[in-house]
Structure 1
Amino acid sequence: MSDFTFDDVAVVMGTYNEEEAIGGVLADIDRVTDGRAEVVCVDGSDDRTPDIARGMGATVIEQEPQGYGVAVREAVLTPDRPIVVTTDCDDTYPMERLPDFLDRINQGYDVVSGDRISPGPETMPLLNRLGNRAFAALASLFLGQRFHDVTTGMRAYRRELLHRIEWTENTGLSAELLMRPAARNYRVAELQIEYDERAGETKLDPFRGGAAIAKSICRIGIEERFDTSLDAVTTTDTVERT
């Protein structure tokens, strides 16, 4: 079977009032993939974000604002291309690493997850850094395998996996998108990535959002550990650190 190329890749994101950053993110995707990757934005903005995205060739799906997970779930399930890459629209994630994510998929991994935490991101506020470490520790406890960053927004997935699993979370969707595949023995790789200072203002309350993410991790962990009706994949060597 031939390796996947950027002609097989869709880069997707939920967007909400990110007119300061969206143009730079889309320009980076276009540059790194030579314009070959499809881009899908699920947007609930009331600023110029969707107009900028359309003007730069992205497919924009307009949606009433219902939270992070609702938008991203729509985004990951929309493309027809076999590889789906998620990112945030605030210019924090390194689009120049897209080839590395695709390489890991071509090595046989089902999910490639960007690890922002291990490199010690100086641009991430200390409270966020501590919270993300705590989320990873909690998820690792439930899963019985060590993860360093379960709330990252940059991942690559095989499309069939995304359509096989039922996604239930909103604020905690980022953790769910890693935990359920890992619990069901899909092959998962963590890839250390750089993390830049965001452009624009954050929309997430760190305390309310953090509590919602922790609750989601506990719910997912309990479901995956004790619900024997959930589908699983039989494989070995499920987690790689790079």
Structure 2
Amino acid sequence: MSEIDGHYDFGDVAVVMGTYNEEKAIGTVLDDIERVTDGEASVVCVDGSSDRTPEIAREKGAQVIEQEPQGYGVAVERALRAADRPVVVTTDCDDTYPMERLPTFLAEINDGADVVSGDRLSRGAETMPRFNRFGNHAFAVVASLLVGERVHDTTTGMRAYRKPIIDSIEWTENTGLSAELLIRPLCRGYDVREIEIDYAERAGETKLDPISGGAEIAGSILRVSLEERLA
């Protein structure tokens, strides 16, 4: 279902993220994006912080949309919708994802991919807590069985999308949005590719409870997969 729109460069890319009390890391992440893209990519942050995160983001040139904290998916979806460029890259603001790989993500889009998903788990993801790592492997196995295609990492926060795909799908999940953003395009026949990436130790404290958050993600994977199969 790919439609090749020509060759994109970083001037065609928006990097988006939901931010919540990440003042320890947000500056580094934005500096890395600036450096890797030569300042050409735009950045959109949807923020519900009570610390200096939005101030730092604005100082670094990002567009900041402030809203009351409503969860991961609400923030990320709003950031995705607000992006005004034909290629949108999601990332987290905790300095765990390698911005140095942005050229690889863009190259895959230029090669015809509709969605490019960063696979943290195939390289070990040793910086991820063991319980979380086990859970993410389990999510990938379940998602693979449900969608009928091998998936290595359903909950990665780093992906690239062609913007028309984002705009054409109704996204329904919150905590499980990262899984939904992979599963719906896969089930609809889009060209979805996974590339292996490194995963660094996060700066600052995690906001997701591994038990309740894991249960919500598992529910999202099951719900979204069944909806797509029954549609």
Q: CA RMSD in A?
A: 0.6
The CA deviation string for residues 30-50 of structure 1, in whole angstroms up to 9 with x for no partner, is 000000000000000000000
Unaligned runs of 5+ in 2: none
Structure 2 residue 190 is matched with structure 1 residue 194: no
Of 143, 150, 173, the residue aligned with 1:169 is 173
- Give 1:80 deviation, angstroms: 1.2
- Give 1:79 deviation, angstroms: 1.1
- Give 1:177 deviation, angstroms: 0.2
Of 112, 115, 130, the residue aligned with 2:119 is 115
The percentage of counterpart residues that share the same residue type is: 70
TM-score normalised over the length of structure 2? 0.97
Structure 2 residue 140 is matched with structure 1 residue 136: yes
- Give 1:2 deviation, angstroms: 3.6
Give the aligned partner of residue 152 of structure 2. 148
The CA deviation string for residues 39-78 of structure 1, in whole angstroms up to 9 with x for no partner, is 0000000000000000000000001000000000001111
Distance 1:51 1:31 in 2: 20
The CA deviation string for residues 186-239 of structure 1, in whole angstroms up to 9 with x for no partner, is 000000000000000000000000000000101001101112xxxxxxxxxxxx
Unaligned runs of 5+ in 1: 228-242
Distance 1:200 1:78 in 2: 27
Structure 2 residue 90 is matched with structure 1 residue 86: yes
Give the aligned partner of residue 17 of structure 2. 13
Structure 2 residue 105 is matched with structure 1 residue 101: yes
The one-letter code sitting in structure 2 at the alignment partner of 1:82 is P
Of 34, 37, 58, the residue aligned with 2:38 is 34
Distance 2:189 2:230 in 1: 15
Distance 1:222 1:179 in 2: 10
Structure 2 residue 48 is matched with structure 1 residue 58: no
Structure 2 residue 162 is matched with structure 1 residue 158: yes
The one-letter code sitting in structure 2 at the alignment partner of 1:142 is L
Give the aligned partner of residue 210 of structure 2. 206
Instruction: Number of aligned residue pairs: give it.
Output: 227
For residue 201 of structure 2, give the secondary structure of its aligned residue in structure 1.
coil
